[in-house]
Amino acid sequence: MKPLVTGAVVVLGLLTAALAAPASAQTIAEQSTAARQPTAEARAHGITKSGDAFMGWRQTSTAVAPTVTAPAATVEGIDVSSHQGNVNWASQWSAGKRFAYVKASEGNYYTNPYFAQQYNGSYNVGMIRGAYHFATPNDSSGANQANYFVDHGGGWSRDGKTLPGALDIEYNPYGATCYGKTQAAMVTWIRDFLTTYKNRTGRDAVIYTNLDWWTRCTGNSTAFNSTNPLWVARYASAPGTLPGGWPFHTIWQYSSTPIDQNRFNGDQTRLVALANG
């Protein structure tokens, strides 16, 4: 009977070891994705699964044309994500668009499957292009997500055609608006991301946000208004009150019709200057 007892002990030992073994990175990622379900509000805006988040997803669409007061110089552009699929860049160029931002990554778990077509296509047609990262601060540290972004398309080169990467920090489509962080913790997370991004690329990242979210989730922090260009989202006829004490905006996202519309606050030479650093 001894061999039977030994066999039972071996089987039990194997089961115990299997239960105690750490989950693989793939398993952890799958569990994390399963837990990251879009809210009902996010689903109503077309975010049906993890990774679907896009700039300004919770902004209220408007068909109101932005007011242009001469002699202000501006340049028109767009931003895109996987929702746009393969973009007809020649058509966008013909429509007067001269720059584009393309979603590269989200959190530390998603990359845009259309990134190459969108990022390279905008460049090839003559646009100045950049990449953006949709932040999910509850998933991992700012440094972790900045590295993930740079490693998956968010880098920068001084070629006069590549804009600094943008941190898309806004409403959480998967849960609590401020990702479960206090205002102080959120500012720390953002600083961690921005510092890491600059260490990796040599550039200060652009911050995309809006007044409401920034006020709620960072306490309207003024920590970044002298270093990081502001990309403000406001679907109206003017940018309105800027968040965080920024003295001026660099880019204004003013509509999502028929695609996210943006206006650079300066002429083409200033846009090229931003690209060159």
Instruction: Point out the residues that are catalytic.
Output: 79, 168, 170
What sign for the dihedral angle of Cα 265, 266, 269, 274?
Answer: negative
Residues 6+ apart with CB under 8 A from 249: 230, 231, 232, 239, 242, 265
* Distance of alpha carbon 213 from alpha carbon 229, whole angstroms: 17
Are the CB atoms for 129 and 155 separated by under 8 Å? no
Are the CB atoms for 235 and 60 separated by under 8 Å? yes
One-letter identity of residue 101: Y
DSSP 169: -
Choose among 203, 197, 140, 205: nearest CA to 168: 205
